[in-house]
Amino acid sequence: MAKIVDQLCGCDCAVGVAGGDLLVEVPITDGGVKFGNSVVPVNREALGAAADKGDRTVTVGVRPEHFDVIEANGGTAASLSKDSANAPAGLAVSVNVVEELGADGYVYGSAKLGGEHKDLVVRINGRSVPEKGATLHVVPRPGETHVLSTSTSERLSG
């Protein structure tokens, strides 16, 4: 993990550390990577480079400020392809703690990714904070992810 973290940003700000970046292995699929119930577009060259290495997954890094909270009928939700039309778009995040800091807030929560629970931090609008125990649906903002080879830890984009 340290090798991947160094590739991501040169510091150790991975999940569970003060920086709060999410660093997770996700499957490659048509059009991007599978993130929760949605396919999130990522750099095509990065996915091609991963496929050339024989990787079927990539490690994606996302900073707290690079998540979008998905509204049920919002424009972002409509633009994402989903596994199931009945399920909400994005990754379901259970809210554990909300830190209100004026114009911004931070949600400290957990989500199920790849069969395991991951802690993550999401920056939100400080004027519309969720309650503890609520569920948010989030996706990484296109173009704001770091993609690394799962097999070699080599940075592929970002």
Distances (CA, A) of 106 to 3, 53, 87, 101, 114: 27, 37, 25, 8, 24
**pLDDT tens digits along 34-76:** 888 888 888 889 999 999 999 999 999 999 999 999 875 554 5
d(CA 38, CA 141): 13
Single pTM value for the model: 0.75
DSSP-derived pairing of the beta strands 135-140 and 91-101: antiparallel
Nearest to 46 by CA among 148, 153, 139, 143: 148
**Band of residue 135 on the pLDDT scale cut at 50, 70, 90:** very high
